[in-house]
Amino acid sequence: MASLFQNGYLEDERGFSATTIAIFTLVTATPAGVGLIVGGRIADIRGRKRVIALGVPVATALVVISYTFGGPLLWLSVFAAGILTGVTIPALAVYRTELFPTGNRSRAAGLLTTAALLGGIGGLLLMGTLLDRDWSHGRVVALLALAQVGVIAIVLRWYPETAHRELEELNPVDRSAPTGRDETGCRPSDVPG
């Protein structure tokens, strides 16, 4: 659905033909894969929160620019936004597994996916409504970009930095649960003799 709005913008506002839209999408979206590859490594080295705090606002600003200006700036901003978005995806996605204990991961992933879908649906409905009321694409996208401020605030305020930390440190084992180990941490089968 988001691509429908983008295609409509490119056709209606920028005069792109179907062929030009296909070429635009191919040229600007393909390099995002490079961002995915590089982003995971950067997040491991520099820290996930830093990647998110820097990457998300810059990528968002570039998307707003792409819906505001045409010509080479349109192509360049979408190209760069795709790469930066790709860089931030591994840093955001890894929190699904690192923040939640094994028993809660599927439930947490389901809730996060549901929240993302509801947020996306709400954004698309708002975008369609505002475009129908003759708002420009640039104004609508700038308004929707404010939601990214909330994402950054949540990450910086409540998410721990998980780079260079063990999962056991982030999600300590319940000490009261039976583990088959004695008070020294050994199983009976670990002791020779």
CATH value at residue 18 = 1.20.1250.20
The structural domain count of the chain equals 1
Residue at 192 is within a domain: no
pLDDT confidence of residue 106: 84
**182 occurs within a structural domain:** no
Say what the pLDDT of residue 166 is: 66
The pTM (predicted TM-score) of the whole model is 0.78
On whether residue 53 sits in a domain, the answer given is yes
Confidence (pLDDT) at 126: 95
pLDDT given for residue 60 in this prediction: 95
Classify residue 124: in a domain, yes or no.
yes
Assigned token pair, 137: 């694409």
187 assigned to some structural domain: no
CA atoms within 13 A on the CB side of 106: 1
Residue 181 belongs to some domain of the structure: no
Q: Which two tokens stand for residue 105?
A: 């991961």
Is 178 among the domain residues? no
Give backbone dihedrals phi and psi of 5, rounded to 5 degrees, phi first: -65, -40
Mean pLDDT by 10 residues, the chain (193 residues): 84 94 93 89 88 93 95 96 93 79 81 89 93 94 91 85 67 51 49 49
Q: What is the model's pLDDT at position 93?
A: 85
Q: Is residue 176 part of a domain?
A: no
Q: Which domain holds residue 44?
A: 9-169
